[in-house]
């Protein structure tokens, strides 16, 4: 997953734009437009191009140097952009009801939607909101759990221990410990919701959730229906996987701890948020030892540096006909964790200066998991570079899910055949058992993630609308997690807790629906690109590595950015105007057959 920099539009995604002209932010909006809508959009794009540099730099420094001083710098830059954005949106409202050409109307609409946390048009409240958003991210970034023996563990260490541990009580300690970090966020978050909702109201939206859902070229109600449709398409596969995993954990921990007719205890799935279950693969490997892919050993034996791992990913994109990354990428990116300061290690891709200054921010280790994250992050960078010639208001993906899906699609092509071809493993021969093993390993991440990807924003939609109040933040969070994921906490939780805040994207105010949609689109994209590349056989065996034809089709889609409705961009690539999760079922057909066999006679569901 990534905290993505896309153009100069979204504060919560770090890529919001800060003001270089102090007077512009304080100039009262004209009561009547003094320029045509097209002239207004041209001016907005010109200002946005310049405003992006300051805020991008401020947030980069804040993420790579977490100090009291950088918090002040980032907060001030965010506040300045909020003032500019509020002022420009107020001016844009003067063009409501006018007959506009499609491009101008789209630009104005995207300007209105140009922040995930719209600030009220009030200087004091803008400052308060900017301070809260900076504080929330700072609490998360500097968070750690201190054990009774005095050992203090940051989030990244706790995540690693959750992946490795198997002891029931030890896992529960880490799980509970990290959630203590989020408790101080609760009141700040409630105030954040009040302020951001006020800002959304001023833009003409009922609440912030309605504003977020309006960013998909369909009505909020239509978008909710679309999300529900996609979930229903993949739910049968998730249900089979959940049933098999629960049965296995029941064997490991005992059915007294893992009842076979209820949800799975949330701390037993090898991940701090039970969003991906890949760490359990050693317990669930269908055919032990068959077709093992040991990229980790190659990376360590050949002593791949972080930069060499990134070069490997770059070479994949270049094989599709895309350009090499600029020299500044290698000079300015953060590849390793500095020893002298706190940084945000959460992997992210940055398109600073309108995509002319591409960077990634990671703390890279020599593992196959990290390598795949790099391939994913460069998907963002190549998208940013492809649409950099679009006007700033169109420097974004067709919708948020597209941005996440590009790198995810590329990782699907990291097949055994590809890994052998580039020297990361030896033989690439696979029998059917090896295919099932590999699909199980992938499903524990990709399929297990789907319900979590959907529910995070569903919780926030309820919070923003007022259906979920501060008095039931935590209960509503767990109600949704049980409904969709079939998991539950092993210990009692109360409203003294704020478990949603333990997930970065809540205090970071990063929309999560994009990840759910990306997990759908990546398989849909892959099915199309494999057809273009001339692949024959099962979808799971396809790699588009080296296919200039597939790369040309993909690049054309990337270049369009946000210049047209996503349905048009999707059609440009796939020939259809609808997102379709059936490609997931096609891809995992071998595993689905296996799971049904394993679950025969079991009582599934919760």
30: left (phi over 0), alpha (psi -120 to 50) or beta: beta
534: left (phi over 0), alpha (psi -120 to 50) or beta: left
Q: Maximum distance among all alpha carbons in the chain? A: 73
Cβ-based neighbours of 428, under 8 Å, separated by 6 or more: 415, 416, 417, 419, 420, 421
Question: DSSP string of 437-486?
Answer: HHHHHHHHHHHHHHHHHHHHHHHHHHHHHTSS-GGGHHHHHHHHHHHHH-
Q: Is 347 among the catalytic positions? A: yes
The number of C-alpha atoms within 13 Å of 4 and in the hemisphere containing its C-beta is 34
Cβ-based neighbours of 140, under 8 Å, separated by 6 or more: 155, 181, 182, 185, 501, 504, 507, 508
Q: Is 505 among the catalytic positions? A: yes
Q: Is 376 among the catalytic positions? A: yes
Q: How far is the C-alpha of 446 from the C-alpha of 429, rounded, in Å?
A: 24
Residues 378 and 411 sit within 8 Å (Cβ to Cβ): no
Q: Is 377 among the catalytic positions? A: yes
Structure tokens at 7: 């153009």
Q: Check 198, 377, 430, 458 and give the catalytic one.
A: 377
Q: Check 515, 545, 587, 594 and give the catalytic one.
A: 515
Q: Check 85, 244, 267, 346 and give the catalytic one.
A: 346
Q: Check 85, 242, 267, 376 and give the catalytic one.
A: 376
Q: Is 242 among the catalytic positions? A: no
Q: How far is the C-alpha of 444 from the C-alpha of 434, rounded, in Å?
A: 16
Q: Check 380, 399, 403, 535 and give the catalytic one.
A: 380
Strand-strand pairing, 357-361 and 348-351: antiparallel
Helix (H, G, I), strand (E, B) or coil at 160: helix
- Residue 265 has phi, psi (to 5 degrees) of -55, 130
Q: How far is the C-alpha of 202 from the C-alpha of 85, rounded, in Å?
A: 12
Q: Check 15, 76, 130, 347 and give the catalytic one.
A: 347
- Measured in residues, the chain has a length of 606
Structure tokens at 70: 């950088």
Looking at residue 334, what DSSP letter applies? B
Q: How far is the C-alpha of 109 from the C-alpha of 103, rounded, in Å?
A: 10
Q: Check 79, 198, 404, 458 and give the catalytic one.
A: 404
Q: How far is the C-alpha of 563 from the C-alpha of 45, rounded, in Å?
A: 13
Q: Check 244, 505, 519, 535 and give the catalytic one.
A: 505
81: left (phi over 0), alpha (psi -120 to 50) or beta: alpha
Q: Is 85 among the catalytic positions? A: no
By annotation, the residues acting in catalysis are 346-347, 376-377, 380, 404, 505, 515
């Amino acid at each position: 997953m990534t905290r993505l920099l896309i153009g100069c539009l979204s504060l919560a995604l770090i890529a919001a734009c800060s003001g270089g002209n102090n007077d512009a932010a304080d100039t009262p909006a004209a009561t009547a437009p003094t320029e045509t809508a097209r002239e207004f959009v041209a001016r907005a794009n010109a200002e946005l191009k310049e405003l992006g540099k300051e805020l991008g730099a401020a947030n980069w420094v804040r993420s790579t140097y977490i100090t009291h001083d950088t918090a002040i710098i980032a907060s001030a830059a965010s506040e300045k952009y909020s003032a500019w954005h509020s002022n420009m949106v107020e001016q844009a409202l003067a063009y409501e009801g006018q007959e506009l050409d499609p491009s101008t109307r789209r630009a104005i609409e995207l300007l209105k939607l140009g922040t995930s946390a719209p600030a009220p048009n009030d200087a004091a409240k803008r400052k308060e909101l900017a301070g809260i958003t900076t504080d929330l991210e700072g609490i998360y970034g500097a968070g750690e759990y201190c054990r009774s023996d005095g050992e203090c563990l940051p989030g990244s260490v706790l995540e690693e221990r959750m992946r490795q541990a198997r002891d029931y009580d030890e896992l529960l300690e880490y799980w509970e410990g990290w959630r203590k970090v989020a408790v101080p966020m609760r009141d700040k978050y409630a105030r954040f919701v009040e302020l951001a909702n006020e800002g959304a109201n001023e833009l003409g939206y009922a609440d912030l959730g309605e504003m977020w859902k309006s960013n998909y070229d369909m009505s909020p109600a239509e978008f909710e229906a679309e999300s529900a449709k996609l979930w229903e398409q993949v739910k049968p596969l998730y249900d089979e996987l959940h049933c098999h995993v629960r049965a296995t954990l029941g064997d490991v921990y005992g059915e007294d701890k893992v009842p076979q007719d209820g949800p799975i205890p949330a701390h037993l799935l090898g991940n701090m948020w039970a969003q991906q279950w890949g760490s359990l693969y050693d317990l669930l490997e269908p055919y032990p030892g068959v077709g093992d892919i040991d990229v980790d050993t190659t990376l360590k034996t050949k002593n791949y540096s972080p930069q060499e791992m990134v070069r490997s990913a770059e070479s994949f994109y270049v094989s599709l006909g895309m350009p090499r990354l600029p020299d500044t990428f290698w000079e300015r990116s953060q590849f390793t964790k500095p020893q002298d300061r706190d940084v945000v290690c959460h992997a992210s891709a940055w398109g600073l200066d309108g995509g002319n200054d591409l960077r990634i921010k990671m703390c890279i280790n020599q593992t196959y998991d990290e390598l795949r994250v790099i391939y994913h992050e460069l998907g963002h960078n190549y998208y940013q570079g492809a649409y950099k010639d679009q006007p700033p208001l169109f420097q974004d993906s067709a919708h948020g899910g597209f941005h996440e899906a590009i790198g995810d699609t590329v990782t699907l092509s990291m097949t055994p055949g590809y890994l052998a071809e580039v020297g990361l493993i030896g033989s690439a021969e696979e029998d059917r058992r090896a295919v099932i093993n590999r699909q199980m390993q992938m499903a524990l991440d990709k399929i297990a993630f789907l319900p979590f990807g959907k529910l995070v924003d569903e919780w926030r939609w309820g919070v923003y609308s007022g259906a979920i109040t501060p008095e039931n933040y935590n209960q509503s969070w767990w109600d949704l997690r049980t409904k969709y994921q079939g998991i539950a906490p092993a210990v009692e939780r109360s409203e003294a807790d704020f478990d949603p805040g333990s997930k970065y994207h809540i205090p970071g105010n990063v929309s999560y629906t994009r990840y759910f949609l990306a997990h759908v689109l990546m398989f849909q994209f892959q099915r199309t690109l494999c057809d273009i590349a001339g692949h024959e056989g099962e979808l799971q065996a396809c790699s588009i590595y080296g296919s200039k034809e597939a790369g040309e089709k993909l690049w054309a889609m990337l270049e369009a950015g946000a210049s047209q409705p996503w349905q048009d961009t999707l059609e440009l690539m796939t020939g259809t105007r609808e997102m379709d999760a059936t490609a997931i079922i096609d891809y995992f057909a071998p595993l689905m057959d296996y799971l049904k066999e394993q679950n025969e006679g079991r009582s599934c569901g919760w």
